[in-house]
Amino acid sequence: MTRRLLLVNGPNLNLLGVRDPAVYGTSTLADVERITAEAAAAAGFEVRSIQSNHEGVLIDAIHDAREDCAGVVINPGGLTHTSVALRDALTGVSLPFAEVHISDVNAREEFRRFSYLHDVAAVRVIGEGVDGYASAVAQLTALIP
User: What residues form the annotated binding site?
Assistant: 75, 81, 88, 102-103, 112
Give the annotated binding-site residues for substrate: 75, 81, 88, 102-103, 112
Rounded CA-CA distance 78/112 in Å is 8
Rounded CA-CA distance 98/117 in Å is 9
Q: Catalytic residues, which ones?
A: 24, 101
Decide if 88 contacts 95 (C-beta within 8 A): no
Residue 70 CB-half CA count within 13 A: 17
Q: Write the DSSP assignment of 90-135 as a string of letters.
A: HHHTT--EEEEESS-GGGS-GGGG--SSTTT-SEEEESSTTHHHHH
